[in-house]
């Protein structure tokens, strides 16, 4: 089947229901040439599952098709950021951190605080993509444990790297720290060419978008501090 | 600790191809790919001189040629000091396995 995600047409054949259900909101009815083809085959997932016995074959399909998508994305001016992405008044705010820090907790505080003005774009693995010179945060069928992801591309306003703290404050990351945070929370390219592509993209990203370090707890004040720093 | 003056002026230095230098947001950063990515998970930030020497190595210049190029870039610095600085930088690269023997 064909899907459209992050502005790209993807040709992908789901074997199991989990992936299928995540793909359906992204289904594309036009018959057009695909930008990315992901045909890994059932045998591949069964082999993976043998090695990763804590996962089911359908989970393996979901994880490895996602990895294939994000590896290809680099060749199309985009990359994965391990983050929870929230849209507010039509602009995207991304919160990145190591697993277990509370990315999703923070963006859900935004939903509570801003109500109908805010919505989740992708709760765990948004694509960031340069389209016609502008940078967008995009929902994709791959969003980690939850299915909170929408089929939209929303102009990216800012990225914050979350550090858990008892006090709430936000500051701009130095360019070195911004690069380090992003490289830590993306799918690192293995090859020279794809790494070059990613670094070129990061250079463009960082000349247009600010990256912050957000020290926060899980209060309403955390939302006000984050928004106050990032929306300027 | 090897002494910087171990380097012979006409010695060719080869960078390990699995390290990439790029200027990103005004910073000169080195990242690793392939097998080396397991050794360097993050990145190295180079100062201006380090990045200049790195780019000479990319062009496969030997030490004498690198010194000549640096003299054009940084006027008023004597040969001996440049050779010493290059030697220290090369030692650091060698320690990290970034220079290939």
Predicted complex ipTM:
0.85
When the pLDDT of each residue in chain A is averaged and rounded to a whole number, the result is 96
User: What are the CA-CA distances from residue A90 to residues A25, A61, A118, A121, A134 (Å)?
Assistant: 20, 32, 8, 11, 14
Q: At what angle do helices B48-58 and B79-95 cross, to 10 degrees?
A: 80
Do A141 and A83 belong together in one domain?
yes
Alpha carbons A99 and B66: distance in angstroms, whole number: 45
CATH number for the domain spanning A104: value is 3.90.228.20
pLDDT for residue B3 is more than 60: no
Residue numbers in B near A196 (CB within 8 A): 20, 22
Please state the φ and ψ torsions of residue A131, each to the nearest 5 degrees.
Answer: -125, 120
Q: Check B24 against A188: CB less than 8 A apart.
A: no
| B50 contacts: CB under 8 Å, gap ≥ 6 | B28, B89
**Helix or strand or coil: residue B55?**
helix
Residue A84 — very low, low, confident or very high, per pLDDT cuts 50/70/90? very high
Residues of A near B (Cβ–Cβ under 8 Å) read: 175-176, 178-180, 183-184, 188-192, 195-196, 199-200, 202-203, 206-207
Is A179 in contact with B29 (Cβ distance < 8 A)?
A: yes
Higher pLDDT, B11 or A66: A66
- The verdict on A47 and A105 lying in the same domain is no
Give the model confidence (pLDDT) of B35-90 as tens digits. 998 888 889 999 999 999 999 999 999 889 999 999 988 888 888 889 999 999 99
* Cβ-nearest to A199 among B18, B24, B42: B24
The DSSP element (H or E) to which B84 belongs, if any, is helix B79-95
Q: Are residues A89 and A132 in the same domain?
A: yes
Q: What is the pLDDT of residues A183-205, one digit of tens each?
A: 999 999 999 999 999 999 999 99
Residue finishing a domain among A16, A46, A76: A76
Q: List CB contacts (< 8 A) between B42 and chain A.
A: 180, 183-184
Question: Which pLDDT value is given to residue A11?
Answer: 97
The residue extents of the domains of chain B are 15-96
pLDDT tens per residue, range A123-170: 999 999 999 999 999 999 999 888 899 999 999 999 999 999 999 999
Where is the domain boundary, A76, A91, A112?
Answer: A76
The residue-averaged pLDDT of A222-232 equals: 96
Tell me the residue range of the domain where A183 lies: 78-230
The total of structural domains in chain A comes to: 2
For residues A156 and A166, membership in a common domain is answered with yes
Verify that A85 and A191 share a domain, yes or no.
yes
How far away is chain A from the Cα of B38, in angstroms, using its nearest Cα?
A: 10
């Amino acid at each position: 089947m064909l899907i459209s995600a992050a502005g790209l047409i993807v040709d992908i054949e789901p074997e199991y229901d989990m992936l299928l259900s995540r793909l359906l909101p992204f289904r594309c009815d036009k018959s057009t040439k695909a930008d990315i083809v992901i045909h890994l085959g059932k045998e591949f997932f069964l082999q993976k599952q043998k090695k990763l016995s804590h996962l089911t074959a359908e989970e393996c399909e979901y994880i490895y098709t996602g990895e294939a998508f994000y590896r290809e994305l680099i060749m199309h001016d985009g990359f994965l950021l391990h983050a929870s992405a929230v849209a507010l008044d039509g602009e995207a705010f991304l919160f990145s951190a190591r697993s277990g820090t509370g990315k999703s907790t923070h963006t859900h505080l935004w939903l509570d605080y801003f109500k109908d003005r805010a919505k989740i774009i992708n709760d765990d693995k948004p694509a960031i993509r340069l389209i016609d010179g502008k940078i967008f945060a995009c929902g994709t069928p791959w969003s980690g444990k939850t299915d909170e992801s929408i089929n939209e591309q929303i102009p990216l306003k800012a990225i914050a790297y979350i550090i858990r703290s008892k006090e709430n404050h936000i500051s701009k990351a130095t360019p070195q720290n911004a690069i380090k945070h992003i490289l830590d929370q993306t799918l690192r390219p293995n090859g020279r060419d794809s790494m070059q592509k990613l670094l070129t993209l990061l250079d463009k990203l960082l000349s247009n978008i600010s990256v912050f370090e957000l020290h926060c707890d899980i209060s309403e004040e955390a939302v006000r501090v984050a928004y106050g720093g990032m929306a300027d | 600790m090897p002494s910087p003056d171990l380097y012979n002026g006409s010695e060719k230095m080869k960078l390990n191809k699995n390290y990439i230098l790029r200027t990103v947001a005004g910073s000169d950063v080195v990242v690793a790919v392939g097998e080396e990515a397991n050794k360097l998970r993050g990145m190295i930030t180079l100062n201006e001189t380090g990045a200049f020497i790195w780019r000479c190595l990319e062009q496969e210049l030997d030490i004498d040629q690198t010194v000549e190029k640096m003299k054009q870039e940084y006027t008023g610095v004597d040969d001996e000091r440049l050779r010493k600085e290059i030697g220290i930088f090369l030692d650091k690269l060698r320690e990290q396995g970034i220079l290939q023997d």
